[in-house]
């Protein structure tokens, strides 16, 4: 009988093991007393095929799994459904070269942060320079709009307070 069921359902190896266990359980000796026999008849009779499949799926750990319906969430003026996939949030990293060269000041009212840098040409061979030129090189230079746009990408955490 089990071979016939296996051929018709194309049952896998774990299912055949379960069917063989059911066959062993069904051949258990019935008690002589009819009152005891009727009392334990549900235990002695082999369970049905659907129950066997349910038992195996419980053993595998996927019993009772149902697709959960996602509830819509109201966000301001639009209704959105949460995504099924919970992706990993990779931590972005600041560009260490940009951090070492640029100083980040707190943002102004309507613009982004202010990036400042030191000027080149102050390390050596400065004896021939005029004093006003070496003094002016001590001041910091601010970034232009194009540099600021690039620096915002290179330093993703520029808004954090520990960067200022």
**pTM, rounded to two decimals:** 0.45
- Taking Cα atoms as reference points, which of 33, 162, 22 lies closest to residue 11? 22
| Tokens representing residue 75 in the block | 């966000």
Rounded to an integer, the average pLDDT of 92-117 is 88
Residue 77 is predicted with a pLDDT of 72
Please give the Cα distance from 159 to 94 (Å, whole number). Answer: 12
Q: Each residue of 10-44: pLDDT tens digit? A: 556 666 666 666 665 555 555 555 555 555 555 55
Q: Each residue of 45-101: pLDDT tens digit? A: 555 555 655 565 555 555 556 666 767 766 667 766 666 666 777 889 999 999 999
């Amino acid at each position: 009988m089990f071979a016939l069921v296996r051929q018709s359902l194309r049952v896998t190896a774990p299912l055949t093991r379960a069917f063989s266990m059911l066959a062993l359980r069904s051949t258990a000796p019935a008690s002589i007393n009819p009152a005891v026999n009727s009392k334990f008849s549900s235990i002695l009779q082999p369970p049905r095929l659907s129950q066997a499949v349910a038992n195996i799926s419980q053993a595998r750990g996927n019993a009772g799994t149902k697709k959960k319906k996602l509830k819509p969430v109201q966000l301001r003026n639009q209704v959105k459904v949460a995504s099924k996939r919970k992706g990993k949030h990779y931590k972005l990293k600041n560009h260490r070269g940009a951090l070492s060269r640029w100083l980040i000041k707190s943002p102004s009212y309507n613009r982004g942060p202010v990036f400042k840098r030191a000027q080149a040409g102050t390390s050596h061979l400065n004896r021939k320079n005029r004093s006003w030129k070496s003094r002016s090189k001590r001041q910091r230079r601010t970034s232009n709009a194009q540099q600021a746009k690039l620096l915002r990408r290179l330093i993703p955490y520029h808004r954090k307070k520990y960067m200022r």
